[in-house]
Amino acid sequence: MKLPIIKHVTQFIQQNDEDFIIETIETLESLTEVASLKDTELDVIGELLSNFYGAIEVSKMIKSGKSQKDALNSFMKRVLGSIDS
């Protein structure tokens, strides 16, 4: 996950609509079913998906009243905590 990408996509959600990201996620998930994709291509798609899902989570925290900075920090702490476990 890349925090600058999550931050950028979160701003996109705020300016536009979360539905664009949800539809992008659905499209990328569908692409993972293409049998001819190489592992490196699947890795890139997986990285994009994790960033988009992260941005949706951060966006929900912002909508519930957290500042963008606090929401991003909270999300990254949760991610790092799950990696350490």
What confidence tens digit (pLDDT) does each residue in 64-85 have? 999 999 999 999 888 887 766 5
pTM: 0.88
Residues 45/31, Cβ–Cβ less than 8 Å = yes
Residues 48/42, Cβ–Cβ less than 8 Å = no
Contacts (Cβ under 8 Å, ≥6 apart) of 52? 9, 21, 24, 25, 28
Average pLDDT over all residues of the chain:
93
